[in-house]
């Protein structure tokens, strides 16, 4: 006997089960991009960036790699590290972050530009 032929399973029950399965599949497809961004991954990145902020230095290769990070909060923290160091040599990289799609990253670039003084003036204009 199949599932639908069981005496305890009515047609309404079968339809209900089918709808639940469809809902799970649809919700799973909608959540999968979010699930790909592992929250634990952000916590590790944030911990690293906060340590770098204390030292006042973020290695340039890491700063470049953070440009493509899926978490906007990570990119915000990366720019904050540069802002805390006030290193004018990072100005060219800040130009790249100025084009970020998240407004919070662009805001932090403006803060960093202000801390850079005359070197950051072009970023702000």
* Per-position pLDDT tens, the chain of length 125: 555 555 555 666 666 655 655 455 554 433 334 434 455 678 888 888 888 888 777 788 888 888 888 889 989 998 988 888 777 887 888 898 999 999 999 999 998 888 888 888 888 77
Show the CA angle centred on residue 19, arms to residues 13 and 22, nearest 5°: 145
pLDDT for the residue 81 = 86
The answer on 119 and 58 residing in a single domain is: yes
* Total domains, the chain: 2
The answer on 106 and 46 residing in a single domain is: yes
Residue 93 φ/ψ, nearest 5 degrees: -70, -35
Residue 71 φ/ψ, nearest 5 degrees: -95, 115
What separation in angstroms does the CA of 54 have from each of 24, 47, 106, 117?
45, 11, 22, 21
Q: Which residues contact 68 (CB under 8 A, 6 or more apart)?
A: none
The answer on 29 and 48 residing in a single domain is: no
Cβ atoms 85, 57 nearer than 8 A:
yes
The answer on 31 and 45 residing in a single domain is: no
The answer on 46 and 7 residing in a single domain is: no
Domain that holds residue 18: 3-36
The answer on 48 and 24 residing in a single domain is: no
The answer on 44 and 28 residing in a single domain is: no
Q: Which two tokens stand for residue 32?
A: 């999968």
The answer on 28 and 52 residing in a single domain is: no
pLDDT for the residue 30 = 39
The answer on 104 and 53 residing in a single domain is: yes
**CATH number assigned to the domain comprising residue 52:** 1.25.10
pLDDT for the residue 18 = 56
pLDDT for the residue 39 = 54
The answer on 20 and 48 residing in a single domain is: no
pLDDT for the residue 19 = 62
The answer on 45 and 12 residing in a single domain is: no
pLDDT for the residue 108 = 92
Q: Say whether pTM exceeds 0.75.
A: no
pLDDT for the residue 36 = 40
């Amino acid at each position: 006997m199949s599932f639908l032929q069981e005496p305890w399973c009515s047609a309404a029950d079968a339809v209900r089960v089918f709808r639940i399965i469809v809902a799970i599949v649809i919700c799973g497809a909608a959540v999968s991009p979010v699930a790909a961004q592992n929250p634990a991954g952000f916590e590790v990145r944030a911990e690293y960036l906060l340590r770098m902020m204390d030292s006042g230095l973020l290695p340039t290769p890491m700063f470049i790699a953070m440009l493509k990070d899926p978490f906007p909060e990570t990119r915000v923290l990366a720019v904050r590290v540069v802002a805390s160091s006030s290193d004018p040599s990072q100005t060219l990289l800040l130009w790249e972050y100025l084009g970020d799609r998240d407004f919070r990253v662009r805001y932090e670039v403006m803060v960093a530009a202000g801390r850079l003084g005359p070197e950051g003036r072009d970023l702000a204009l």
